[in-house]
Amino acid sequence: MKNKDLKIYLAAPRGFCAGVDRAIEIVKKSINKFGSPVYVRHEIVHNKHVVENLKKIGAIFVEELSEIKDKTRPVIFSAHGVPKKVPKEAQDLKMEYIDATCPLVSKVHREAENLNKAGFHIFLIGHENHPEVVGTMGQIPEGSIELVETIDDVEDIDIPSNKKLAFVTQTTLSVDDTKDIIDALKKKFPQIKEPNKEDICYATTNRQAAVKKIASKCDMFFVIGSRNSSNSKRLVEVADKAGCNYSELIHSESSVPLEKISKCNSIGISSGASAPEILVQNFIEKIKENFNVEIQEVEIVKENVTFKVPGKLN
């Protein structure tokens, strides 16, 4: 196979977004400030490689605060955000907590709260049980926000016509699929209030646009990311819809599918917003060992967004 030429289209931007960078930085700075262990509620970001590296320096991951034996140690809330009851529980337990919720997710939380205060019934476009969705729905009283996952869900909505309606969305959705659901909501409820600024985050939008740009040129498309990463799974779907015949998620248990790649003349590579660049480079190195590789990086936009870590960690 080493004699075979292979062209790699490398999507840019790819990988870590500002919210992920900030969340990882918060864990590291918390360990520096408070010593170890520091507890983290839920995976700080959806990537096994990141989580394992943070465990090595003193982070302990739990799903609920009740699992934390030593309540004198600080706890960090993940980038996906948490329902209101979680900080309250931490306060009741007199625990020090640091919130690593991505600022763009916090923006959706505030939107939902403000809409609720203004008397709107809210639809949240998102995926059931995703921690971001659980967090957003947990900002306001039960019954005042309902989940919409598909166009069929829109058709099934039965709500009095005199109700004030609004929608918000999960930040890591497929831009195209979400547009179809929004169109269906607007058609059924012409008066529905939409967010002033789109909720899907800049990084999700940019990564999907970069994949779209190159997918049709590729015999196969690979997205480096975790199986529980919403934005990574959406990139695989985007590559499929944009004209690549075969797209695949490469996660921590995946081996490099050299046999499949040997049948290709060109492949595309991107990575989800919680996947470190080292995983992309390792994947490419493995391919280079077996093929004559030419890499073309296709960058659609330069990202220069950064988010500050909480002041108390500086």
Share of the chain above pLDDT 90, in %: 96
Flag whether 109 is in a domain.
yes
Q: Given a cut of 80, is residue 2 above it in pLDDT?
A: no
CATH of the domain at 120: 3.40.1010.20
Comparing 84-88, 160-164, 308-312, which segment has the lowest mean pLDDT? 160-164
Would you say 132 and 170 are in contact if contact means Cβ atoms under 8 Å apart? Answer: yes
Flag whether 64 is in a domain.
yes
pLDDT tier for residue 206 given thresholds of 50, 70 and 90: very high
Looking at residues 205-218, what average pLDDT do you find? 97
Of the residues 63, 78, 99, the one at which a domain ends? 99
CATH of the domain at 22: 3.40.50.11270
- Which spans in 35-69 are helix H? 48-56
Residues 231 and 247 reside in one and the same domain: yes
Q: Given a cut of 90, is residue 60 above it in pLDDT?
A: yes
Flag whether 312 is in a domain.
no
User: Any residues with CB less than 8 A from the CB of 73 and at least 6 apart, and which?
Assistant: 34, 37, 38, 39, 95, 96
pLDDT at residue 147 in the model: 98
What is the SS3 assignment for 9? strand
Residues 88 and 126 reside in one and the same domain: no
pLDDT at residue 125 in the model: 98
Residues 64 and 74 reside in one and the same domain: yes
What is the SS3 assignment for 99? strand
Catalytic residue (choose from 43, 89, 111, 132): 132
Q: Given a cut of 90, is residue 161 above it in pLDDT?
A: no
pLDDT tier for residue 3 given thresholds of 50, 70 and 90: confident
| Average per-residue pLDDT for the chain | 96
pLDDT tier for residue 170 given thresholds of 50, 70 and 90: very high
Flag whether 313 is in a domain.
no
Flag whether 294 is in a domain.
yes
Residues 190 and 147 reside in one and the same domain: yes
Of the residues 200, 221, 256, the one at which a domain ends? 200
Flag whether 221 is in a domain.
yes
Flag whether 84 is in a domain.
yes
Of the residues 48, 80, 99, the one at which a domain ends? 99
Query: Of 171, 180, 113, which Cα lies nearest the Cα of 150?
Result: 180
pLDDT, tens digit (0-9, with 9 covering 90-100), for 221-231 = 999 999 999 99
Flag whether 304 is in a domain.
no
**Tokens representing residue 97 in the block:** 């907590």
Is 132 a residue of the active site?
yes
Q: How many domains does the chain have?
A: 3
Q: Give the domain extent around 70.
A: 18-99
pLDDT, tens digit (0-9, with 9 covering 90-100), for 115-144 = 999 999 999 999 999 999 999 999 999 999
Residues 78 and 147 reside in one and the same domain: no
Residues 120 and 93 reside in one and the same domain: no
Residues 279 and 247 reside in one and the same domain: yes
Share of the chain above pLDDT 70, in %: 99
pLDDT at residue 1 in the model: 60
Residues 119 and 192 reside in one and the same domain: yes
Query: Of 103, 77, 107, 106, which Cα lies nearest the Cα of 90?
Result: 77
Strand 145-148 and strand 121-125: the pairing is parallel
